[in-house]
Chain A
């Protein structure tokens, strides 16, 4: 069935009504600031009484409420550590009402343990806007790694960066870039190193099972990357040079026109990647040189977005090309292996809101991708030269409506269609197509005592051959003042990948056509949050515990012939994420910290205390940032706990810390703002790595200059 033409047609029809904007009501735009310091207040909540219009302020303190019926309204603004504020405003037909809200800091005496509630329906952990600038990062993987619960499996600097959330496998984390999935069609894994950090304007992490909303692969969690909008002003150009022969250049330009905002961006990066390293003692010791670790990447994108009173749309196209060496393990290096990725995406979204009563949204995408892997002289096995091409299209339509005050119902439908040609697969499937679809229903009901009950269920047809999966998510949330709490129960799944089931058999590998999907049939989540101000310090604390065993986790194990094959293994899983943030607006000091405990053990009778391979039980990090009008400095420390490289309690790899520092100065000039930054990764020269024998160069430095307006 050819789905793509229909999706394009449907999307075009949905975009057409843009010209009827004059029929729609008004909009409220505002900025929220601290009355004492004048600094913007991020993450404040702005809402109109009597409706569900709700928005959160961004890093600049700005918010926008769209689709507001003309007339008098009461605007309510609240933020942690500030006294709530209400103001009457008038909204005129088809016009924008601008407001400036000054919040008064509220002194709170806090005693004992701070505990509170996660009021947000999704529990997303986000970095956006100015927050992104505090992290030394080259790739989206570097950014995502700073968020609680996320572990990035990196195979050396410049290598692939595969995310894991709450001890999941890499193929159980769904990654969407502007709504387009970037999980590889054969391996199921998403490589975050293919997305340049400078192109990212927001990162959202949804930990835990999210299949009830996002379907397949959202078993461990979902990472949403946005490249729309702007972090560095509407025009910027930046260059960077660094250790290991790193060079990068990127530029971004945006302009607001009558038809909306147009933007283009492009970037190139280079990394030689060669460095000397010590071979681990347990691999025989000695010294060697990391070769064939180069990276060459180029990307470009164009975007068009706009909004009227009730309609918001976004269209974009992007392309990236990445070529890099595959140097392999320290004890078995390859000097001839390499990988080449070419990817193009077309994507768009459309949202229509009828006040707060009805909302309709749709998005669609088309993706073309070619991935090549080759090695003429691999350290083991036969030479290979494989190519995988993907042509895919997908999209979803969703809507919701308030059926009565406090009660809302929603529904959605998502479809994706892929054509995969891959010499990596068995001959019968080297040219195959598949169609996945999902249908979901959701609802929410406000309850007494500031509670909200929400529920959603989704039916998916996924995998090859297509099978049906049902996922659910039920949550009860309570939010009052600075405190919040949430308890939820959900289920999720991650089907086996094409590679798992139909990898072309070769020396040392064998597919498993009988593999079942990973499933988390019952996951409990309990979270509490607190946000308040203590002696002028804005404090927020969030804790979330989860318990959800994985049935049939897909792990690769060898047999006695050393033929590796994927198999289903049951895993017990539970854990706790704890994060906190302290901000002192007057001094510009911001401290964030998080710790994660992820206990994922094989369900073996009589031996249930063996942590799954390369899933550290403990992790965490601290980031201290200081900023002023013209300076910004940060120091971040990450902790990777002890982990087992084998499925038994033996050969434990020790925990390690890494510390990065950065200093930046911003200078206003006649042509724009010039920012000069210096970053040092692994300042104490630690060379440890999560995965054994993927050597790290230790301390490296980067200097960047960016001119923006």
Chain B
């Protein structure tokens, strides 16, 4: 058996194994999902230059912890679920799995060579989907067992994944040679079978991040091209699988998005800072011309909202340790929490008290 045919056989075998194993993953006994014990909320920040996570206590942000993810890599995204975080390592084709409770690197799971690993989401308690932008595919990864399934072909240059309602939405930037080659698309997968069931065309370029709004729609921020100030937002109705709204004017290279319960869209824009767009009115509260500048810096990478509805924004300083800023209602920094170098993404989760 040649190496290629063996690889095909092996990949097929893994695929079958994954299909058999997936239904059992949702109630994995290793991850308690019934929090009848006290928990605390933590924030988790990915820092790219030093390839690390900074974990901070939401109630007491002076309590921080740093977890190294590996000696090399360019992580810019993460997914959290309970006490676990999964972080694709970018140039290193692997996913780092971190136990957020005790702040330790559990394992690093290899992906296909040249993956470019960027974009991740939990499908269930043990399976994450990791986007391979350089391979135009996503790979299911069992973060508890440390195994991977067969890659699934999607659109060009996928770099974000959103899971909602039993479906996984893969955000395809449609880049060639790192430049937009056409409008963004979304590949829709069945979260159980991981079969491709639909493709949604968007109007903007360079889909980067997405979030499910309080209206149940998928909001996709699209970066456009650096320097051209052509960032945009697409709103997708998940029931019909169509783009129902397209908003331009999101400035110079937005890269992250978050929404609060009132339907306000927050977008971190590398070129100007943080924009606020109201989905109810369809207008900007803070547009590119009067962008919020968390920490006084006119550049924002990651955005996230904690369980109390407070907005956190990251300043992408890639040379020195940077900060995550907790913002007040005027979008000014009320608390600055030191993190590692070049923070890109932030998420919140809960872990057991005392861990």
| CB neighbours of B52 from chain A (8 A) | 646, 648, 650-651
Given contact pairs A331-B72, A333-B113, A282 touches B108 in the complex (Cβ within 8 A): yes
Render A354-386 as a binary contact track against B, CB cut-off 8 A, 1 for contact.
000000000000000000000000011010000
Contact A329 B342 (CB under 8 A): no
Q: Considering the chains assembled together, what is the distance between the CA atoms of A557 and B253 in angstroms?
A: 20
Other-chain contact of B270, A286, A560, A652 (Cβ < 8 Å): A560
Contact B93 A284 (CB under 8 A): yes
Does A692 interact with chain B (Cβ within 8 Å)? yes
Contact B301 A329 (CB under 8 A): no
| CB neighbours of A331 from chain B (8 A) | 72, 91-94, 113
Does A558 interact with chain B (Cβ within 8 Å)? yes
| CB neighbours of A280 from chain B (8 A) | 71
- Which residues of chain B in 45-101 are interfacial with respect to chain A, using CB atoms and an 8 Å cutoff? 47-52, 66-72, 74, 89, 91-94, 96
| CB neighbours of A332 from chain B (8 A) | 91-93, 113-114
| CB neighbours of B51 from chain A (8 A) | 646, 650-651
Other-chain contact of A283, B70, B134, B321, B344 (Cβ < 8 Å): B70
Q: Considering the chains assembled together, what is the distance between the CA atoms of A560 and B111 in angstroms?
A: 24
In angstroms, how far is the closest chain B Cβ from the Cβ of A656?
14
* Nearest residue, chain B, Cβ from A561: B226
Contact B108 A645 (CB under 8 A): no
- Which residues of chain B in 332-349 are interfacial with respect to chain A, using CB atoms and an 8 Å cutoff? 340-342, 344
Q: Considering the chains assembled together, what is the distance between the CA atoms of A559 and B322 in angstroms?
A: 13
Does A507 interact with chain B (Cβ within 8 Å)? yes
| CB neighbours of A562 from chain B (8 A) | 48, 74
Other-chain contact of B110, A286, A333, A567, A569 (Cβ < 8 Å): A286
Other-chain contact of B71, A379, A567, A692 (Cβ < 8 Å): A692
Other-chain contact of B72, A329, A380, A558, A561 (Cβ < 8 Å): A329
Contact B110 A285 (CB under 8 A): yes
- Which residues of chain A in 308-347 are interfacial with respect to chain B, using CB atoms and an 8 Å cutoff? 329, 331-333
Q: Considering the chains assembled together, what is the distance between the CA atoms of A693 and B52 in angstroms?
A: 18
Given contact pairs A567-B319, A651-B51, A560 touches B71 in the complex (Cβ within 8 A): no
Q: Considering the chains assembled together, what is the distance between the CA atoms of A512 and B344 in angstroms?
A: 24
Does B222 interact with chain A (Cβ within 8 Å)? no
Q: Considering the chains assembled together, what is the distance between the CA atoms of A561 and B342 in angstroms?
A: 10
In angstroms, how far is the closest chain B Cβ from the Cβ of A507?
6
Other-chain contact of A693, B50, B72, B109, B342 (Cβ < 8 Å): B72
Contact B92 A283 (CB under 8 A): yes
Does B158 interact with chain A (Cβ within 8 Å)? no
Given contact pairs A284-B111, A331-B93, A561-B270, A651 touches B69 in the complex (Cβ within 8 A): yes
Other-chain contact of A557, B49, B74, B89, B226 (Cβ < 8 Å): B49
- Which residues of chain A in 271-287 are interfacial with respect to chain B, using CB atoms and an 8 Å cutoff? 279-286
- Which residues of chain A in 463-482 are interfacial with respect to chain B, using CB atoms and an 8 Å cutoff? none
| CB neighbours of A286 from chain B (8 A) | 110
| CB neighbours of A379 from chain B (8 A) | 113-114
Contact B340 A650 (CB under 8 A): yes
- Which residues of chain A in 562-580 are interfacial with respect to chain B, using CB atoms and an 8 Å cutoff? 562, 567, 569
Chain A interface helix/strand/loop/mixed? loop
In angstroms, how far is the closest chain A Cβ from the Cβ of B152?
19
Interface size on A, residues (CB 8 A): 37
Contact B342 A558 (CB under 8 A): yes
Q: Considering the chains assembled together, what is the distance between the CA atoms of A557 and B320 in angstroms?
A: 10
In angstroms, how far is the closest chain A Cβ from the Cβ of B264?
24
- Which residues of chain A in 553-602 are interfacial with respect to chain B, using CB atoms and an 8 Å cutoff? 557-562, 567, 569
* Count: A-B pairs, CB below 8 Å: 119
Other-chain contact of B320, A279, A561, A604 (Cβ < 8 Å): A604
Does A37 interact with chain B (Cβ within 8 Å)? no
Render A139-174 as a binary contact track against B, CB cut-off 8 A, 1 for contact.
000000000000000000000000000000000000
Render B101-121 as a binary contact track against A, CB cut-off 8 A, 1 for contact.
000010111110110100000
Contact B92 A557 (CB under 8 A): no
Does B318 interact with chain A (Cβ within 8 Å)? yes
Contact B108 A281 (CB under 8 A): yes
In angstroms, how far is the closest chain A Cβ from the Cβ of B50?
4
Contact A651 B68 (CB under 8 A): yes
Does B178 interact with chain A (Cβ within 8 Å)? yes
Render B125-139 as a binary contact track against A, CB cut-off 8 A, 1 for contact.
000000000100000
* Nearest residue, chain B, Cβ from A569: B319
Does B299 interact with chain A (Cβ within 8 Å)? yes
| CB neighbours of A329 from chain B (8 A) | 72
| CB neighbours of A557 from chain B (8 A) | 49, 318-319
| CB neighbours of A648 from chain B (8 A) | 47, 49-50, 52, 66, 321, 340-341
Does A670 interact with chain B (Cβ within 8 Å)? no
Does B330 interact with chain A (Cβ within 8 Å)? no
| CB neighbours of A693 from chain B (8 A) | 71-72
* Nearest residue, chain A, Cβ from B134: A380
Contact B50 A646 (CB under 8 A): yes
Contact A650 B66 (CB under 8 A): yes
In angstroms, how far is the closest chain B Cβ from the Cβ of A646?
4
Q: Considering the chains assembled together, what is the distance between the CA atoms of A507 and B134 in angstroms?
A: 14
Q: Considering the chains assembled together, what is the distance between the CA atoms of A561 and B301 in angstroms?
A: 10
Does A405 interact with chain B (Cβ within 8 Å)? no
Contact B50 A647 (CB under 8 A): yes
Q: Considering the chains assembled together, what is the distance between the CA atoms of A379 and B94 in angstroms?
A: 15
Contact A560 B72 (CB under 8 A): no
| CB neighbours of A285 from chain B (8 A) | 108, 110
* Nearest residue, chain B, Cβ from A279: B110
Given contact pairs A284-B92, A331-B72, A507 touches B178 in the complex (Cβ within 8 A): yes
| CB neighbours of A453 from chain B (8 A) | none
| CB neighbours of B68 from chain A (8 A) | 650-652
In angstroms, how far is the closest chain A Cβ from the Cβ of B79?
18
- Which residues of chain B in 155-178 are interfacial with respect to chain A, using CB atoms and an 8 Å cutoff? 177-178
In angstroms, how far is the closest chain A Cβ from the Cβ of B302?
11
Q: Considering the chains assembled together, what is the distance between the CA atoms of A652 and B68 in angstroms?
A: 8
In angstroms, how far is the closest chain A Cβ from the Cβ of B34?
33
In angstroms, how far is the closest chain B Cβ from the Cβ of A319?
37
| CB neighbours of A558 from chain B (8 A) | 48-49, 74, 318, 342
In angstroms, how far is the closest chain B Cβ from the Cβ of A72?
68
Does A653 interact with chain B (Cβ within 8 Å)? yes
Does B316 interact with chain A (Cβ within 8 Å)? yes
| B interface, CB within 8 angstroms of A | 47-52, 66-72, 74, 89, 91-94, 96, 105, 107-111, 113-114, 116, 134, 177-178, 226, 253, 270, 299, 301, 316, 318-321, 340-342, 344
Q: What would 17 more interface pairs be, CB under 8 Å, given A283-B110, A559-B316, A653-B71?
A: A282-B96, A283-B71, A283-B94, A380-B91, A507-B178, A557-B318, A559-B318, A561-B226, A561-B253, A607-B321, A646-B50, A646-B341, A647-B49, A648-B50, A651-B68, A651-B70, A693-B72
29 A-B residue contacts at CB 8 Å?
A: A280-B71, A282-B96, A283-B70, A283-B94, A284-B92, A331-B92, A332-B113, A380-B91, A382-B177, A557-B49, A557-B318, A559-B318, A560-B270, A560-B301, A560-B316, A560-B318, A560-B342, A560-B344, A561-B270, A567-B319, A645-B72, A646-B49, A646-B341, A647-B49, A648-B52, A650-B51, A650-B67, A650-B68, A651-B71
| A interface, CB within 8 angstroms of B | 279-286, 329, 331-333, 379-380, 382, 507, 557-562, 567, 569, 604, 607, 645-653, 692-693
Closest 6 pairs between A and B when the two form their complex, measured CB to CB:
A284-B110, A284-B94, A648-B50, A282-B70, A651-B68, A560-B316
